[in-house]
Every structure is written in C-alpha cells, then in structure tokens.
Structure 1
Amino acid sequence: MTKQPMTPTGVEDKIEEVYLLSAPDLLAEANAIQADFKGWVADNFILSSSQEDYLDNLNDRISTYFGSQCSICFTNKLPIILIYPGPPSGDYSKWTGSSNTLDVKSEGGAEPVATGTLTFEFTYTT
C-alpha cells in the first residue's frame, strides 16, 4: 500500500485504499492496527520528525484504544475522519482525541457489527 501524508486528505485516501482490499487482507489490516496502532500509523503514513516523536510518545493505553476503534471501523468499512488544524505560533501543547458515533454489537463469538463514524481531532492549548 502507498504511504500517505498525515493530513485529512491523506487519511481519507488511506482509508479508501484499505477498504478496497480483499476481505482477508482487510481483516489482516484490522488485526494489525488493533495489535500495534503506532506501528501501523508509522508504516502507512509519511510523518514529519515532530509527528514521529509525538506518535512514539503517545500513551500506550490511548494507542490501544485508538487501535481497537480503528479495527472495528476497518472490518465494517466505516468512515474515519481526521481534523488536523495547523499549530498556533509560540509554545503550545498538542492533544489527540477521538470521538465517535459508533454503535457496536456482536452475537456471542461473531464478528462485531458496527455503524457510525470515528473522528480523530488534534487540538492545541497555549
């Protein structure tokens, strides 16, 4: 697969590419992002050195959470949106968050069935 820039358009293009995969390959990507969100992002996006550093330092619990959400979206081919405004000038803190409208259900051992949208948003505080 082609590495995309870590931009809203790059994420949209990557998701389109992932959703064109065969069912077994799509499941492999879903499993990969759930197992190692940070590694999957690094392997699939062109990152600046500051983005690489930020990703490397992302808390493991939040990384696991993000990976699980993405995995559910992948297997159900749900929209994943990135909101990534430019940083302010001067000193700032960067926050990564996700919000979703996911409705996820599963019948016993069956694969989860989901509807909705997942949104990642970067925000800044000065």
Structure 2
Amino acid sequence: MKKMPFTPEGVQAKQKEVNALSIEERLKISEYVANNPVEFISENFELSDEQQSYLKELETVDLRITGFSLASGFLGQIPIEMQDTTPPSAFASRGKKKKELSTSVSTSTNPQTGSTTVTGTVIVKWTW
C-alpha cells in the first residue's frame, strides 16, 4: 500500500484502498491497526517530524482507544475521518495538541439471512 497525504482526502483514499480488499485482508489490517496505531498511521500517511513525535508520545490508553476505533472503521467499512488542523510553525511548539476522538458504531444482524450490517463513523482530530 502506498503512503497518502495526512489530509481528509488522503484518509478517504486510504480507506477506499482498504475497503477494496477481501474481508480476510481487512481483518488482518484491523488487527494490526488496533495493536499498532502509531505504526499504521506512520506507514500509511505522510507525516511531518512533529506529527511523528506527537503520535509516539500519546499515552497507552489513548493509543489503544484510537487503534480500536480505527480498526472498527476499517473492518466495518464505516467512514473514517482523521485530520491534524495544527499549522506547522514555531508557534505550535508552545503547547500540547488536543486530540478529539468520536466513534459511533452500530451493527445489526438479519436473523433470516445471518448477514450483518455495520454503520457509524470514526473521527480523530488533532488541534490546538
């Protein structure tokens, strides 16, 4: 898989790439992103040194919740939005970024066919 820009459009393109894979391949990617969200983001998106540093400094609980949320988005093929709205500048080095994570996932199974439908969204936003 190729690296995408870390923009809303780049995230959509990456999700489109993952959505085109088989369920088995999506399951492997989902397991990987759940356990290694920093590595997954770093390997799949073009990040600045500042963004790389920030991701590596996130607390374990924050990392795990982010990883599990992204994994559910990729596995369930629900829309994922990831965005860093912090302008790269000397100004930015004065404080810590605020990370917002919003996840809404619902599943329903048809008892007659056994098929499951997944709906919802995953939104991760870094900002000042």
Structure 2 CA distance for aligned equivalents of residues 27 and 115 of structure 1: 17
Q: CA RMSD in A?
A: 2.1
Unmatched segments (≥5 aa) in structure 1: 107-111
Unmatched segments (≥5 aa) in structure 2: 110-115
List 4+ stretches of structure 1 deviating above 3 A.
Answer: none
Give, in angstroms, the shift of residue 86 of structure 1. 3.8
Correspondences of 1:34-113 after superposition (within 5 Å): 34-87=34-87, 90=91, 91-103=94-106
| Secondary structure of 2:97 counterpart | strand
| Secondary structure of 1:13 counterpart | helix
TM-score, normalising length: structure 2: 0.81
Aligned length: 119
Structure 2 CA distance for aligned equivalents of residues 113 and 32 of structure 1: 23
TM-score, normalising length: structure 1: 0.82
| Secondary structure of 2:126 counterpart | strand
Q: Deviations along 1:43-81, whole A, 9 cap, x unmatched? A: 111111111111111111111111111111111100001
